[in-house]
Amino acid sequence: MTFTSLMAGQEAARVALAGVLVVAANAAGRGYEQRILPSSLDGGFWLAGSGLVAALAAYWGSASLTVVVLACLLFTCLAFSGRCAFHAAVRGARRRGATTAAVIVGAGGHGQRLAVTLLGHPEYGLLPVGFVDEEDEHEARLPLLGRSADLRDIVRMHRTRAVVITGQQDQATARTARSLGCDVYLAPEPGDLFVDFVPLREHVRSFALLRMRPDPQDRLTWPLKRVLDIAVAVVGLVISAPILALCATVVRWEIGPGVLFRQRRVGYGGAPIELIKLRTLKPVDAHESATRWSIAHDHRLGPAGKALRRTSLDELPQLWNVLKGDMSIVGPRPERPYFVDQFSTTTPRYELRHRVPVGITGWAQINGLRGDTSIEDRARFDNHYIDDWSLRTDFKILLRTAWSLLRPGGS
């Protein structure tokens, strides 16, 4: 290999590294988010900063300051030019008919004005096909397609991919639309106090639009949660194998045969799963196992059973549930069907806990809500975790769980 070819290879590697860093930096700065009307000037300072970081990383220590500055300008200009070309192509395609069919919920004055605006400006990419409203008396340019209860049929019939909610905020309609794979937008009226509490990033001719966050399973980082689950489960099973063997021996000595027990629980989407735990007490029969709420103070608990429950070592076999995919390391704690049926009728939003896989530990548990504590509080904490899910939150819960194991409390 000649000196010239070696230098050319090094330059190519630097340019490739810089390109990767520019893309990564802009992704971190949400530069590639889907937008109603993409603007090349949005995030301009972030774009310039990413070019500077890329240039410094690629040429630091191997080139003069002049080369670094020129490289920074070059990377920034290339990224900006590419963004301009892409956005121009998107707007042009929309004007030629590449729009998304949309349903507007609310046929009042605000909804009708928004519909007229979208019809007159196809560059925003939303083409309203009709209204959903509880009343039949509105006169509008677009047809009334039905009521909120008919939304599933309306979305399928009209191949709708977007739902815009105006007027009163309808949580059930929004969640139904999102579950059908639609992009969901809330369009508060101009001057609505609501817009003073949230950052606005979308608009249609200055009509504010707030995009509903996707379900956790539809976010780009969600697959990493499963990767984290598998890694923690494998490492945990390997490390805890001697501890499990010792615990099983102690349980066998105190209780007798059957050191493991399997119990039916309700998992993701309400589907049944079979939870595996170390046995700490033998129930009288299957009915007691399915309906007894807590055994923390049961006189039948022996010293080994109490120690296992106090240290949560009885839950180590659930790492196998995680490896199988029945559970996650972090998520709402699974409950028995008997209690799920009860709590779903008495506790607000309890059934919404099953929107993500159940877990060994969770946001409610690290905040002290385990054992005989408020079900309403648990549901609120679990739903907050789901609504605000991020991989960072999972790491936070894992670290706090590990710390709590150093000072275990009662089960």
Of 58, 74, 95, the residue that ends a domain is 95
Q: For residue 411, tell me if it sits in a domain.
A: no
pLDDT of residue 3: 42
DSSP-assigned beta bridge partners for residue 186: 165, 210
- Does the model's pTM come out above 0.95? no
Q: For residue 191, tell me if it sits in a domain.
A: yes
Q: State how far the Cα of 131 lies from the Cα of 126, in Å rounded to an integer.
A: 14
The CATH number of whichever domain residue 203 belongs to comes to 3.40.50.720
Of 212, 244, 267, the residue that ends a domain is 212
Are residues 317 and 397 both part of a single domain? yes
Are residues 177 and 59 both part of a single domain? no
Q: How many CB atoms lie within 10 A of CB 316?
A: 21
Are residues 305 and 376 both part of a single domain? yes
Are residues 191 and 309 both part of a single domain? no
Residue 126's nearest CA partner among 91, 101, 155 is 101
Are residues 266 and 384 both part of a single domain? yes
pLDDT of residue 49: 67
Q: State how far the Cα of 14 lies from the Cα of 16, in Å rounded to an integer.
A: 5
Are residues 350 and 204 both part of a single domain? no
Tens-binned pLDDT, residue by residue, of the chain (411 aa): 554 554 455 566 666 766 676 666 666 666 656 677 766 666 666 666 666 666 666 666 565 667 667 767 776 777 777 777 877 888 888 888 888 899 999 888 899 999 999 998 888 889 999 998 888 766 767 888 988 888 999 999 999 999 999 876 678 888 889 988 899 999 888 878 777 777 766 888 888 888 888 889 888 889 999 999 999 999 999 998 888 888 888 878 877 777 788 889 999 999 999 998 887 776 555 555 555 555 555 556 677 667 777 777 888 899 999 999 999 999 999 999 989 999 999 998 899 999 999 999 999 999 988 877 889 999 999 999 999 999 999 999 999 988 877 664 444
Are residues 177 and 231 both part of a single domain? no
Are residues 13 and 86 both part of a single domain? yes
Residue found by looking up tokens 């209780």 in the block: 255
Are residues 196 and 231 both part of a single domain? no
Count: domains in the chain: 3
User: ∠ CA(17), CA(18), CA(20), 5° rounding?
Assistant: 65
Are residues 58 and 177 both part of a single domain? no
pLDDT of residue 22: 66
pLDDT of residue 257: 74
Reported for 143-149, long-range contacts at CB under 8 A and 24+ positions apart, including other chains, are 144/107, 145/103, 148/105, 148/172, 148/173
DSSP-assigned beta bridge partners for residue 122: none
Q: For residue 161, tell me if it sits in a domain.
A: yes
Q: For residue 128, tell me if it sits in a domain.
A: yes
Q: For residue 74, tell me if it sits in a domain.
A: yes
Q: For residue 410, tell me if it sits in a domain.
A: no
Backbone angles phi, psi at 31, to 5 degrees: -75, -15
Q: State how far the Cα of 318 lies from the Cα of 359, in Å rounded to an integer.
A: 9
Q: CA dist 74 to 12, 51, 87, 108, Å?
A: 15, 8, 20, 51
Of 95, 125, 151, the residue that ends a domain is 95
Are residues 66 and 163 both part of a single domain? no
Domain containing residue 149: 100-212
Q: For residue 217, tell me if it sits in a domain.
A: no
Q: State how far the Cα of 90 lies from the Cα of 109, in Å rounded to an integer.
A: 30
Are residues 157 and 301 both part of a single domain? no
Residue found by looking up tokens 């991919």 in the block: 161
Residue 318's nearest CA partner among 375, 401, 217 is 401
